[in-house]
Each structure stands twice: as structure tokens, then as C-alpha cells.
Amino acid sequence: MTDNPLPAVEFTVRTIAQTAVANEKYFGDLDAVVGDGDFGYSLARGFEAVIADWDTFDRTDTATFLRKVAVVITSRIGGTSGPLWGTAFLRAAAAVTGKTRLGGDDVVAMLRAAADGIQARGGADLGDKTLLDALVPATDELARQLGQGSDPHSALRAAATVARTAADQTAGLQARRGRASYTGERSIGSVDPGAAAVAVIFEALADTWHDRF
């Protein structure tokens, strides 16, 4: 637990933003296989706005900061991704509203709240070939690692490994939500771009966390 969690939260959000921008083409190429190909572009433009507005965000506490980020994401990411990713940040903020100290349980609660928000907003379930198919298993692994006493970096690395495996396994699923669902069985054989994004983000955090905290 830390008395000032904001630096870690800021680092996490900025890493997510930079990763989204850096992987614009990769995510777009994945989406172009059976989707409309705009996922990478939309995600990058939204998180570019987050980076551009970075110094203007209210940092009164973690929840306030995350809510401000969510507003930018919702308004600047196009298509269905904006509401889904914006909801994820809003729900994460709600999970820690009023808290000035955060521990591992709080981090897991934020991720679970984000996943629940995405599920409710998008009407998706596990196995529907969405980002939930990587986010939920990775969150479960993070909770398991922290529960057995692993240090934060080791827990994050384990969660990243699970996220990557789970994302790769979405290639065997048929899409049941989003534009890709219109292609029916043709969606089988390609990795879901949202799940891939979750994996890449977890990997980016795992690669850099030990250098900062």
C-alpha cells in the first residue's frame, strides 16, 4: 500500500496512452482482417488527446484524475471503442472514490470494475471474442499472484503472460460482438484486436514497471 498512489496511476495511464499510439498500425491491421480497420486509428487518436491534455487534468485524487481521463477518451475515441474504454476508466475511478491510499486489492478492484463496465456497456460475455477475453484472465492472474504474496512487478509480469496467451487464443473464437461478428465463422482464425491491445498494454507495463517503482 502507498500513501501517494497518484504517481503509479499516472505512470500506468501514460503507459497505456503511449502504447496505444505506438501500436496504431498493429492494432489497425488486426482489426482490418474481419473488422472495419479503424480500431488502431481510433484508439491512437483518443490517447493522443489524453497525452495532449495531460497537464490539465485535476489531480486532487486518483478517482478525480481517472474521471478526467475518461471524459477525454469518451469524447475523442471514435466508434464503439470510445464508450467502452471511457466506461472502463469511469468504473475504475468509482472503485477507488474517496481513497487516498491504494493497495493490491484496490488495483484488482479497479480492473474488475473496468471489466464489469465494459461487459455491461457492450453486452459482451467471456468467449465473445472481445478485449474481455484477455482482460478478465489477466486480472484473475494478478489477483492470484498478489494473493500469494508475489511482489507487484512479478505479479504484473505473470498477468502479462496470461493476457498474451488469452489474446492469442481468441483466434479460435467466433466473434459475437462488434463489426467482426457480422462475418460469422470467417472471424475464426484471427486474433481479436481489443484482446491484443490488452496484452500489449500489460506487457508494456511489465517491461517498464521495475524501472520506475
pLDDT in tens, 27-67: 999 988 877 788 999 999 999 999 999 999 999 999 999 99
pLDDT in tens, 84-128: 999 999 999 999 999 989 999 999 999 999 999 999 998 888 998
Domain presence at residue 1: no
* pTM attached to this predicted model: 0.93
Domains identified in the chain, total number: 1
> Where in the sequence is the domain holding 182, given as residue range(s)?
6-212
Domain presence at residue 167: yes
CATH number at 100 reads 1.25.40.340
Domain presence at residue 69: yes
Domain presence at residue 195: yes
Domain presence at residue 37: yes
Domain presence at residue 22: yes
Residue 174 pLDDT level (bands cut at 50, 70, 90): confident
Domain presence at residue 163: yes
Contact of 205 with 15, CB cutoff 8 Å: yes
Residue 150 pLDDT level (bands cut at 50, 70, 90): very high
